[in-house]
Structure 1
Amino acid sequence: MSRAERSSPDDRAAPSTKPVVALIEPLRAGVREAKRLVVKVGSAVLSKGDVALHQATLERICRELVWLRKEGCQVVLVSSGAILAGMSRLGLTERPGSIPLKQAAAAVGQSLLMRHYEEAFAPYGQKLGQLLLTQEDFRSRHRYLNARNTLFTLLHLGVLPVINENDTVAVEEIKFGDNDHLSVLVATLLGADLLVILTDLDGLYTADPRKDPHARLVHEVPRRSTDLHLWADESGTGLGTGGMVTKVEAARRAAASGIPTIIANGLVEGTLERIIHGEAVGTIFQASASRMRSRKRWLAFATEPRGRITVDAGAKEALIRHGKSLLPSGVVSIDGGFEGGEVVILCDIEGIEFARGVANYDAEQVERIKGIKSNQIEDTLGAKLFDEVVHRDNLVILCNYSGV
């Protein structure tokens, strides 16, 4: 796609005239090297704020994804829109509130959504593969690896995967809540070089740009950004499930795993091309300096913790600074009915989560051995299977992650 071809006025949002927070150029230079991308597009973009899919916008996004493929990038698309497509077919004017009605709309709309994508990609000869996922596909290590192998095989075959939550069967206990979160799980599963979240705003602002004329677009969020005043709205458009707050949370989580993430305007033509060229488009979240290994990413982001273990300051220091395992002597308290082999949250005495790991003992056993030395475990439990409550090899530190 040439720059001259980006001039369609019908598919371009008004350019931002707000001043920007200074950009650190090396971050954008790294983006230019990205070869494996996950692109998430939401209902607000696909509908342009209407109650039906906007075909011209969908076709334009597909055209840009094809351009990325021709540039040598592997691309995975995480797409909302099934419920939206079903709403249109069923004559609904508001997003369904109940799970059964959402599932019905998704059942009607999922094939329609894929038909739109098939038609949009057909002129370019691009083959598509559809994956519908639930949280259970990520919680189970076995299913997680199966999904990973499937995606890599599709990419190897030149197929562009289109991923959505399986809304037709998902219930509250297994839902992602929004496709922003799903896109992070897909990006970490693949070890992507870049995650791009397309929304209907130019990026993250210091205030709501629709209400505050002094709102500034933030072009870069460092790993430690507690001094930045950022705006994130919890509400979406009414057609989707996530507002800016879910996108910021998703971007921080992906960045914490070592994947740079950009929130950008999906209604502006040429956004993806400009991003890959290293232009100052949207808001980039600086990635952690070190990348997590695949198993660590699974522990950190794909699993659902079954309990919580509070540790003292000395144990936290040993875990974070010295790469040690969690011993019984460092445990202060526990919460939850977890079993041995299940993932638990590790938090400090102030209640702040800083790590996750696989517990070697169940909750009742940890309660009995908390505060004692490892050589006292056998006397307390009658047997000692492990010296550690959580072994270092099954633990991941989350200190680079913080909420909005």
Structure 2
Amino acid sequence: MKTHSKRIVVKIGTNVMTNKDNRIVVPILKRIVDQVARLYEEDVMTVLISSGSVIAGKEVLDDNEIDTIDNAAQRRQVYSAVGQPRMMRHYYSIFHDYGMRCAQVLATKRDFDFGRHRDNMINCYEGLLGQGIIPIANEDDAVSLSMSMFSDNDELASLVAELVDADALILLTDTDGIFDGHPDHDDSNVIKSVSTDQEVEQFIQESDKKEGEGRGGMESKINVAKGAASKDIVTYIANGKREDVIIDIVHGKDVGTRIYKEDE
């Protein structure tokens, strides 16, 4: 079994993996997995944090099929519970083509509280990573409500990165990083690096948007990124639809926005 000298956590946002019709784009998942497989051969082990379960559930269940469920939270639970197997079927099939194995790890926020639950999570991740199995984490939407919910998968990604002692956290979205203005304006540019002490909130407020069916946005990402960076996990916000974006970041290329601790 190959031993890996580096670990990264990669969060794939809803807007990365869906098209304008709000459906999962499998070729994008294949490009992500291809990069994970190539990094595996470079002694880099990846943990994926994958959105998409609710969207996948909606591909299976028509709204009319659950129109008797009036509660929005319950509808989300049903979509997620149905969509999780569909998402994992995509991942299992793609990783299988590379001769690799993957595993699903679902969690609620309370699982990261210090104690037995957290210890169990650590044991699970260490067991999978030690065997060269790619963990694919997501919030357990089927049972996660109110106080046990993450603010979004960005928060989950940062907690997993800390749990597995990751060397880097990569938050993939559908923009090239944090801009110094609105991303659609020609005179706006990507801010290449941000320290944990630097104020960029004025730019975030102007360009923020949510992650489709997800709960995240750029404001969430920068808050999570600064939090992770303050714990010595260098964090990147980058465009997940860009060719070889994960590879380029790991190889030190100038891609996306890098968030780092001031004393690095």
1:71 aligns with 2:45: no
Q: Which runs of 5+ in 2 are unaligned?
A: 65-69
Aligned with 2:89 (options 115, 125, 135): 115
1:56 aligns with 2:27: yes
Once the two structures are superposed, the pairs formed by residues 358-369 of structure 1 within 5 Å of their partners are: none
Q: Deviation at 1:277?
A: 1.4
1:90 matched residue in structure 2: 61
Whether the aligned pair in 2 keeps the contact of 1:259 and 1:288 (CA below 8 Å) is no
**Equivalent AA in structure 2 for residue 127 of structure 1:** R
**Within 2, Cα distance between the matches of 1:59 and 1:106?**
22
1:131 matched residue in structure 2: 105
Name the SS of the counterpart of 1:50 in structure 2.
coil
1:267 aligns with 2:241: yes
From the superposition, tell whether residues 92 and 47 of structure 1 become closer, same or farther in structure 2 (CA, over 3 Å): farther
Q: Which runs of 5+ in 1 are unaligned?
A: 1-33, 291-404
Once the two structures are superposed, the pairs formed by residues 101-250 of structure 1 within 5 Å of their partners are: 101-210=75-184, 212-226=185-199, 230-232=203-205, 233-250=207-224
Q: Deviations over 1:173-222 (max 9, x none)?
A: 11002100000000011111000000000001112212x33222100002
TM-score (norm 1): 0.60
Whether the aligned pair in 2 keeps the contact of 1:45 and 1:200 (CA below 8 Å) is yes
1:80 aligns with 2:54: no
Q: Deviations over 1:15-65 (max 9, x none)?
A: xxxxxxxxxxxxxxxxxxx81100000111111343111011111111111
Whether the aligned pair in 2 keeps the contact of 1:257 and 1:288 (CA below 8 Å) is no
From the superposition, tell whether residues 146 and 272 of structure 1 become closer, same or farther in structure 2 (CA, over 3 Å): same
Name the SS of the counterpart of 2:210 in structure 1.
coil
The structure with higher relative contact order (CA 8 Å, sep 6+) is 2
**Equivalent AA in structure 1 for residue 109 of structure 2:** Q
**Within 2, Cα distance between the matches of 1:250 and 1:81?**
20
**Within 2, Cα distance between the matches of 1:127 and 1:278?**
27
**Within 1, Cα distance between the matches of 2:74 and 2:188?**
40
1:346 matched residue in structure 2: none
Aligned with 1:44 (options 4, 15, 25): 15
Q: Deviation at 1:227?
A: 7.3
**Equivalent AA in structure 1 for residue 247 of structure 2:** E
Whether the aligned pair in 1 keeps the contact of 2:76 and 2:141 (CA below 8 Å) is yes
1:353 matched residue in structure 2: none
Q: Deviation at 1:140?
A: 4.2
1:253 matched residue in structure 2: 227
**Equivalent AA in structure 1 for residue 158 of structure 2:** V
**Equivalent AA in structure 1 for residue 223 of structure 2:** E
Query: Which segment is superposed worse, 84-93 or 156-165?
Result: 84-93
Whether the aligned pair in 2 keeps the contact of 1:127 and 1:159 (CA below 8 Å) is yes
From the superposition, tell whether residues 153 and 220 of structure 1 become closer, same or farther in structure 2 (CA, over 3 Å): same
From the superposition, tell whether residues 247 and 92 of structure 1 become closer, same or farther in structure 2 (CA, over 3 Å): farther
Name the SS of the counterpart of 2:136 in structure 1.
strand
Q: Deviation at 1:239?
A: 2.0
Q: Deviation at 1:235?
A: 3.3
Name the SS of the counterpart of 1:169 in structure 2.
coil
TM-score (norm 2): 0.91
The structure with the largest helix share of the pair is 2
**Within 2, Cα distance between the matches of 1:98 and 1:140?**
31
RMSD in angstroms over aligned alpha carbons?
Answer: 2.0
Q: Percent same amino acid among aligned pairs?
A: 35
Q: Deviation at 1:145?
A: 1.4
Whether the aligned pair in 2 keeps the contact of 1:38 and 1:194 (CA below 8 Å) is yes
Whether the aligned pair in 2 keeps the contact of 1:52 and 1:85 (CA below 8 Å) is yes
**Equivalent AA in structure 2 for residue 84 of structure 1:** I
From the superposition, tell whether residues 157 and 278 of structure 1 become closer, same or farther in structure 2 (CA, over 3 Å): same
**Within 1, Cα distance between the matches of 2:35 and 2:51?**
17
Whether the aligned pair in 1 keeps the contact of 2:197 and 2:262 (CA below 8 Å) is no
From the superposition, tell whether residues 237 and 149 of structure 1 become closer, same or farther in structure 2 (CA, over 3 Å): closer
Q: Deviation at 1:231?
A: 2.1
**Within 1, Cα distance between the matches of 2:174 and 2:163?**
26
